[in-house]
Amino acid sequence: MFPSETSCWFIRKVIWWRAAASIAWSVLLLPPTTAVFVILSKFSFLHPIQTVSDCLSLLMSANSIFSFILLGGVVIMVGFLILEYYTVIPTIACSKIALLGQLLHPRQVVNSLAHGLMGMIVGWCCAVTVGHRYETLGYPARSSDGHPQMCLNEYHLVFLLAGAFVGFSHSLLGVIHNINYVYFHTVQQYKYLHFKGSLPLVVKCSAIQAFYSMRNFIVVYFFLGYIPKTWICKTLTLHLDSSVHPLDSIAGLLDLSLLYHLWISATFLLFTWYITLLLFRIFVTEVYSFPVKSTFTDDSHQCLPKVLTDNQPMILKFLALQDLALLSKHSPSRRSEVFSLSQPGGHPHNWNTVSKECLALLADLTQRLVAYHETVATNGRAKSLSSGSERKTSSETSATSGTEDLMSPRPTFLMKTPASIFARSVARGPHSPLTSPFTSDLDSPFASPALRRLTAPVDQCSPWHGSIQSPHIMRRGPQLWSTSTESHANGSPPPSPASVPSPKQEPAKPSFLAQFLQNRKEQLPEASSQALFADSQAHIWALEALSYLVQASFTEDQFGVVQTTLPSILSSMLHLQEAVDRHFKLPHASSKPVRSTNSMEDFAFKTLRFALRATLKTSIYRITTTFGSHLNAVQMSGEHRKRLQQFLEFKE
């Protein structure tokens, strides 16, 4: 799956062992979780002692042991699915059609069906554990004429269908809310403390989601419950007991005991799965320390500079950047290895590799932001010349010697006002949104006469109205003392040399399906901004690593290896600062999403752009406060020098 040697080593010796440890802990937590479920499902305030004895005897029975084995297999399967579908870069759908495509993807359909099957198995285990009327699918009864027959136990069927419904909906909600997204927390904690602090949230989310899932299931079963019930009866040759109220009716669904046991079972199912997910997140995101320099040649692919250049798997890239950010901040001994020179030769290979990779990440994000701004600017709006001149000025490259190979080339984007904008504004009328940048100043005394002539409405009696116009055709109007006089004397309008205008063809109205699909295809501005910064955690670590290493080089860099790339680092950060500031001027970029505390969804990816902006500004300030006036000797463009001066004077 991962062809490179580094990836195979990392997946085999790190990721798989961490995933196995998380699954093992999930299985070990099953007995106490199952005991709590049994107590809650059988507890009676009137007979507490009898409830405890019944629970103990039930936990020791053969049915409970078999159910526990099945639950362990389900937890292991859930852990393998999490390992297969997890991601460190969330998949954000920028439109409703894109989200529908994710839900209907064959890989996701298989995942949803697997979760539905596992949910049905857990529902069967819960029905057997609760016992009494929920234990079996069929029970013996007598028909109206006295003959014995096997009747369908609808209570047991409801448990099975509820488990499948909860598992299937859990898989769909996982796609919508990016449940499989693995986020690296800023504050590092021990695994036990992290688990202990997150346990109340898991219980709360499981109970709330189980409540809403049961509400939806009851509505679905009320209208469509007869379909699986009829199919099961025909397949297994079972009969319906007429003396029992059917559960797909109002009287049957008002059974409070049934509703309580369904909710407890759904909470137990979601809790075991969320515990597996939480433990996987904790184990996988644990800090891994990569060696900066290798003692043996065979281990060179495991070194930090070599690992940073690998882009697959992404978890390896993220763990390497996390380790780089931590060593640049907390480890002077490992920083000295980054600043060291190679022997023999005396070249700073470690620093060159680290800085080049971090600068490439920053340049990639800058180019994406510039391209996004270009797309937004051309999305049905005319672009002004002033913004184009500003962008041209901001994209000037700094004149640095010997370090241009570390910076990726950035294209210069020139924004031009379309020549047809005036004709478009006339066709749409004075109140059209497209003409607002131009018609707002027409009444001003400073408006250009040529602009007024271009935007002036055409008279319908004019000889130019309704005809095809060309700049190469010259038409002669009527003479002042001949045609005009004769026409006025006869009382008829002057003859027009233009042809008869053709009737306007109204555009065909799109169908309802076309309008529906077009509305679903429209880009969601908030989602598009989130998708733009979906992988910004890597850029945050790159900024922190560069700024801390540059700060430490002021006193620790004995060979001056950092000073050769300092102009490139400052220029890259200032380029990114300008692109980020321009992005936050968009109306949808500065609004923070509301955080929900009732879901296991990690909202960190929705606020990554704010964290990136804060980290970028902090990184620049960290460098300017360390070097101070020494930065005036650094070669850079005039625009960047003005921006850097704002940081030096603490005005940014």
Tens digit of pLDDT for each residue in 486-535? 444 444 444 444 444 555 555 566 666 666 555 555 666 678 888 889 99
pLDDT attached to residue 437: 36
pLDDT bin (cut points 50, 70, 90) of residue 131 is confident
Evaluate whether 248 touches 229 at the Cβ level (below 8 Å).
yes
Contacting residues for 557 by C-beta, under 8 A, at least 6 apart: 339, 563
Summarised one tens digit per residue, pLDDT across range 318-337 is 999 999 999 999 999 999 99
Lowest mean pLDDT among 80-89, 437-446, 551-560: 437-446
Tell me how long the chain is: 652
Of residues 552, 550, 580, the one with CA closest to residue 567: 550
Helix (H, G, I), strand (E, B) or coil at 25: helix
Mean pLDDT of 349-374: 94
What's the mean pLDDT when you consider all of the chain? 80
Helix (H, G, I), strand (E, B) or coil at 403: coil
Angular region, 181: left φ>0, alpha ψ -120 to 50, beta rest: beta
The amino acid occupying position 375 is T
Evaluate whether 552 touches 337 at the Cβ level (below 8 Å).
no
**pLDDT at 53 > cutoff 70:** yes
**pLDDT at 1 > cutoff 90:** no
Of residues 384, 389, 466, 454, the one with CA closest to residue 424: 454
Mean pLDDT of 340-368: 91
pLDDT attached to residue 400: 40
Evaluate whether 143 touches 239 at the Cβ level (below 8 Å).
yes
Provide the 10 A C-beta neighbour count for residue 177: 16
pLDDT attached to residue 148: 84
Of residues 646, 605, 572, the one with CA closest to residue 178: 605
pLDDT attached to residue 466: 44
How many angstroms separate the CA atoms of 102 and 166, rounded? 19
Provide the 10 A C-beta neighbour count for residue 205: 20
* 377 vs 382 pLDDT, higher one: 377
308 token code pair? 């940073």
pLDDT attached to residue 487: 42
How many angstroms separate the CA atoms of 229 and 248, rounded? 10
pLDDT attached to residue 344: 76
The residue assigned the tokens 């704010």 is 610
How many angstroms separate the CA atoms of 107 and 82, rounded? 13
Highest mean pLDDT among 22-26, 42-46, 443-447, 461-465: 22-26
How many angstroms separate the CA atoms of 50 and 44, rounded? 9
DSSP code for 241 = -
How many angstroms separate the CA atoms of 125 and 70, rounded? 8
**pLDDT at 223 > cutoff 60:** yes
How many angstroms separate the CA atoms of 529 and 537, rounded? 15
635 token code pair? 């070669």
pLDDT bin (cut points 50, 70, 90) of residue 445 is very low
pLDDT attached to residue 260: 94
Mean pLDDT of 534-552: 95
The residue assigned the tokens 């500065």 is 590
Lowest mean pLDDT among 13-27, 87-101, 368-382, 615-629: 368-382
pLDDT bin (cut points 50, 70, 90) of residue 559 is confident
pLDDT attached to residue 468: 42
Q: Tell me the HSE value of 306 on the side-chain side, using a 13 A CA sphere.
A: 17
pLDDT bin (cut points 50, 70, 90) of residue 301 is confident
**pLDDT at 385 > cutoff 80:** no
Mean pLDDT of 447-454: 44
Lowest mean pLDDT among 9-23, 207-221, 379-393: 379-393
pLDDT attached to residue 506: 55
Task: Provide the CA 566 distance to its chain's centre, in angstroms.
Answer: 33
**pLDDT at 622 > cutoff 90:** yes
Evaluate whether 35 touches 97 at the Cβ level (below 8 Å).
no
Q: What are phi and psi of 72, to 5 degrees?
A: -65, -40
* 400 vs 122 pLDDT, higher one: 122
pLDDT attached to residue 59: 83
Helix (H, G, I), strand (E, B) or coil at 320: helix
132 token code pair? 């009494």
* 175 vs 589 pLDDT, higher one: 175
**pLDDT at 390 > cutoff 70:** no
- The pTM score is 0.78
pLDDT bin (cut points 50, 70, 90) of residue 147 is confident
Evaluate whether 302 touches 294 at the Cβ level (below 8 Å).
yes
Summarised one tens digit per residue, pLDDT across range 157-170 is 999 999 999 999 99
The partner residues of 152 in beta bridges, in order of sequence, read 138
**pLDDT at 234 > cutoff 70:** yes
Evaluate whether 22 touches 280 at the Cβ level (below 8 Å).
yes
**pLDDT at 247 > cutoff 60:** yes
pLDDT attached to residue 7: 60
Mean pLDDT of 243-263: 89
Mean pLDDT of 280-305: 87
How many angstroms separate the CA atoms of 418 and 590, rounded? 30
pLDDT bin (cut points 50, 70, 90) of residue 290 is very high
How many angstroms separate the CA atoms of 123 and 565, rounded? 61
Lowest mean pLDDT among 13-27, 51-65, 150-164, 534-548: 51-65
**pLDDT at 556 > cutoff 60:** yes
Contacting residues for 129 by C-beta, under 8 A, at least 6 apart: 34, 37, 38, 41, 58, 63, 64, 67
Cis peptide before 344 (omega within 30 of 0): yes
The amino acid occupying position 273 is W
**pLDDT at 155 > cutoff 90:** yes
